[in-house]
Amino acid sequence: MKNSIITSILCFFLLMACGEDTDPIIPQELGLDGSSYSLQVSLHSSPEVFVEGFNHHTQQVEQIQLDYNRQVFVDLDAASETSNADVLGVHYNDEAFVKLDVWDDTKDHAQGIDGWDIVLANYNGRTDDGSGTLVPYSLTGALINKSQTTAIRLNKEEIEGANETFIAYDDITYQDAVKITLSEEVDAVGSDWKKLDFATFTYNIVQDQYYIIKSTEGVFFKLAFTSFYDENLDKGNPKFLFQRILAE
């Protein structure tokens, strides 16, 4: 579909029809669905996994249970009227499982599902040590498909703090999206869509923040996380809204 001859011919004539005084018409796949989707995935799976690690309660190195033993690859482009998206869950014991590590360029990507855009997982990520220096830290969030997908975080407080205009999730258009420089960093989405409340030791979703993602098929999506818990209030169950950003 992506390379259809009909689409190419239509795009050619539309571009030829553009005058100097009109906005350029950017070629776009025909028939794409602009509906809003909601998806929740679980980072838990059977069987339980125990690994050697440091137990902060006993202050000893011993066998501890992994909080998250599953990675979930998501193909946003597969969203349609009959499916939210294509997903593939990979258990820690599966041969395809990769201990994702953004510091190691041999472990910052995985095969996943064909055409996947983001993977929800626990990974060795980067965090600020308080002095502006990034250090390794175990994080739970989303990584993008290396060299295939790009993304950027849009945070209202940060953007307005830089005296720029923040465009809300519901208001952003295709014309806005194409002007934004996206990042190729695998942790461009990352884990900071949630924040730990130290009073309750629960995670809250950061408000007025969402992501623009350019998929493996070159389609712009907007994506906003809405929860880290399932209906039983068990953590490790990321939920998010996403929607194609289409030219009008």
Summarised one tens digit per residue, pLDDT across range 102-135 is 999 999 999 999 999 999 999 999 999 999 999 9
Whole-model pTM: value is 0.85
What's the whole-number average pLDDT of the chain? 88
pLDDT greater than 50 at residue 168: yes
Q: Confidence class of residue 19 from pLDDT cuts 50, 70 and 90? A: very low
Number of domains observed in the structure of the chain: 2
Note whether 125 and 24 are same-domain residues.
no
pLDDT at residue 30, rounded to an integer: 55
pLDDT greater than 70 at residue 49: yes
Note whether 21 and 38 are same-domain residues.
no
Q: Per-residue pLDDT tens for 185-199?
A: 999 999 999 999 999
Contacts of 156 (CB under 8 A, 6+ apart): 166, 168, 208, 209
Note whether 18 and 75 are same-domain residues.
no
- Tell me the C-alpha distance between 234 and 203, whole Å: 11
> Which residue segment(s) compose the domain that 214 sits in?
32-244
Residue 191 DSSP one-character state: S
Task: Report the 10 Å Cβ neighbour count for 40.
Answer: 15
> Which 3 state secondary structure label does DSSP give 149?
coil
Percent of the chain at pLDDT > 70 equals 88
- Higher pLDDT among residues 90 and 13, named by residue: 90
Note whether 118 and 223 are same-domain residues.
yes
Note whether 9 and 131 are same-domain residues.
no
- Tell me the C-alpha distance between 38 and 248, whole Å: 23
H or E, element range at 209: strand 209-214
> Which 3 state secondary structure label does DSSP give 86?
strand
- Mean pLDDT over residues 163-167, rounded? 98
Note whether 171 and 232 are same-domain residues.
yes
Peptide bond into 47 cis (omega under 30): yes
Q: Confidence class of residue 213 from pLDDT cuts 50, 70 and 90? A: very high
Note whether 87 and 22 are same-domain residues.
no
pLDDT greater than 90 at residue 3: no
Long-range contacts of 18-25 (CB under 8 A, 24+ apart): 23/175, 25/247
Note whether 23 and 38 are same-domain residues.
no
- Tell me the C-alpha distance between 178 and 167, whole Å: 13
Residue 208 DSSP one-character state: S
